[in-house]
Amino acid sequence: KKLISSGFAYIHVVPDMGIIRGTTGVVSLISDKPAESILVPERYMTLVFKTYSSAYPSTVSSILAELFQLKEDTFYYRKMRKRYSFHPSKRLDYRPELDVLYPYFKNKKQFLITIKNIIQQRMVELLSKELKVNPVIVAHPDVWRRSIYPNMNVILPLRFKPPITSKFSLMGDKYKKKAEKEIYPEKLAEFFKTNKHISLTAPDVGDYKTLFKNIRILLKKGVSEAEIIKSLTATPAKMLN
């Protein structure tokens, strides 16, 4: 009811546990009947670079290695299943998760990757190049520090606060507040103008008050009203089918 009262009729539901977290879906808020409310099932496969201190994978590099191996396993499993249908012998182990991942590694469907810093952004570039996938990224405030592929779709939670690991945060409150007020609005406005596949979203779940406040700042920094409207309507609608 709160979302509907704020003008929202549809939401994009994203899993929040694990590294490969499962598929997302577009859900209507108008109906409570599953057959009517689920509009787009399995839109993206969610991926987060989450590391563990006491278990594997413990580094971003080990997550990349795991993903490379998972792609090889997925293609091998598909190949052996096809061979088994012509030459039945020893039955293969049943791996339904590999069937689910196949269209994503085949680039018929897209991964949705949440990145939280520059290092993870670099990892996405490697994934795109080495795994030959074209992911959608959920960006971070420092996304402007590295160029992204021209046609990459970006979901941008609109916040101007420097990440904890940024040099502005490490230099103290004085520089952090200056960056939040001056540098980040300017840089994100430039990023917005030069990338045409951006969908804006709230900086935190449900924080639309801050989103609208930050949108007004982007307008003052020279981003056109037409571009803002497109990033809130047409672009996300196209991204979510």
User: How high does pLDDT run on average in the chain?
Assistant: 87
Q: How confident is the model over 38-56, as a mean pLDDT?
A: 84
Q: Is the pLDDT of residue 166 over 80?
A: yes
Long-range contacts of 100-103 (CB under 8 A, 24+ apart): 100/23, 100/45, 101/20, 101/45, 101/70, 101/74, 102/74, 102/75, 102/78
The larger pLDDT score, comparing residue 93 to residue 70, is at: 70
**Over the stretch 196-223, which tens digit does the pLDDT of each residue have?**
899 999 988 778 889 999 999 999 999 9
Confidence of residue 86 (pLDDT cuts 50, 70, 90): confident
Confidence of residue 184 (pLDDT cuts 50, 70, 90): very high
pLDDT for position 185: 93
pLDDT for position 53: 65
